């Protein structure tokens, strides 16, 4: 099972369901206290809230509610790490990915074993030719070549971020070592008029699933890689 949700971010989105102190774990409250930027606090809280809502939804009627879940996104040394979900103190073997921008929060949860999952949301903005030459692979630039709007460059960048999160190996983010055309099946989507058929496009080849969205001047992507699939071993 795999569910994902993108929703707008607002200053009051963090108030439901009630005072964050009532639905954050003690460790999460400590983490929140160390985030000084109001904008980052809002994004972090909204991501935790939506993630816990999805976890409760997947868990069903036996779920302890948001307060019974703890989401840990740091390793034992305090470094950023892929989120892990704990239900009443016990690690749940599910995969969680969280992303937020200044305007949106995007979360995905998978209960399947042996999968890797990553999501990203980013504003649509001009990415220069020099940026593309520096950070996009030859395959990616060819795929984007027919797009005069620059939208596909933003989408490729988002998918790179999602792939990096899906890899979850703690290595530094090196964009050119992730080729979206080979690491996922993104290249099977038409590069011309990609979103003409609707704001959400999805492609699944059995080894990887890519979901692409465009909404409110932002692009969002989610990437799921299955264990044993050809695509899952294509990160440099």
Dihedral pair phi/psi, residue 120, rounded to 5°: -155, 145
pLDDT band at residue 201 under the 50/70/90 scheme = very high
CATH number of 2-113: 3.90.470.20
Closest to 180 (Cα-Cα) out of 161, 159, 194 = 159
The answer to whether residue 154 scores a pLDDT higher than 90 is yes
Domain ranges of the chain: 2-113, 117-233
The pTM (predicted TM-score) of the whole model is 0.90
CATH number of 117-233: 3.90.470.20
The answer to whether residue 86 scores a pLDDT higher than 80 is yes
Work out the mean pLDDT of the chain and round it to a whole number.
89
Domains 2-113 and 117-233 share a fold: yes
Q: d(Cα 97, Cα 104) in Å, to the nearest integer?
A: 14
Q: Percent of the chain scored above 90 by pLDDT?
A: 66
Dihedral pair phi/psi, residue 97, rounded to 5°: -135, 140
The whole-number average pLDDT for the span 16-31 is 82
């Amino acid at each position: 099972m795999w569910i994902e949700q993108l929703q707008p971010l607002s200053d009051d989105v963090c108030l439901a369901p009630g005072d964050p102190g009532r639905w954050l774990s003690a460790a999460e409250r400590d983490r929140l206290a160390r985030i000084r930027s109001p904008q980052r606090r809002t994004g972090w809280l909204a991501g935790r809230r939506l993630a816990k809502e999805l976890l409760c939804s997947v868990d069903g009627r036996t779920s302890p509610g948001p307060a019974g879940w703890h989401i840990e996104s740091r390793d034992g040394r305090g470094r950023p790490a892929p989120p892990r979900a704990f239900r009443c103190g016990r690690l749940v073997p599910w995969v969680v990915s969280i992303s937020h921008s200044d305007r949106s929060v995007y979360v995905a949860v998978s209960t399947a074993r042996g999968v890797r999952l990553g999501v990203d949301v980013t504003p649509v903005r001009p990415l220069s030719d020099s940026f593309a030459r520096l950070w996009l692979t030859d395959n990616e630039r060819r795929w984007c070549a027919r797009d005069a709007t620059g939208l596909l460059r933003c989408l490729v960048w988002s998918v790179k971020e999602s792939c990096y999160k899906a890899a979850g190996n703690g290595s530094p983010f090196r964009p050119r070592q992730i080729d979206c055309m080979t690491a996922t099946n993104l290249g099977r989507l038409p590069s011309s008029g990609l979103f003409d058929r609707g704001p959400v496009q999805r492609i699944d080849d059995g080894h990887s699933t890519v979901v692409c969205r465009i909404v409110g001047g932002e692009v969002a992507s989610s990437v799921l890689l299955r264990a044993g699939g050809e695509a899952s071993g294509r990160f440099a």
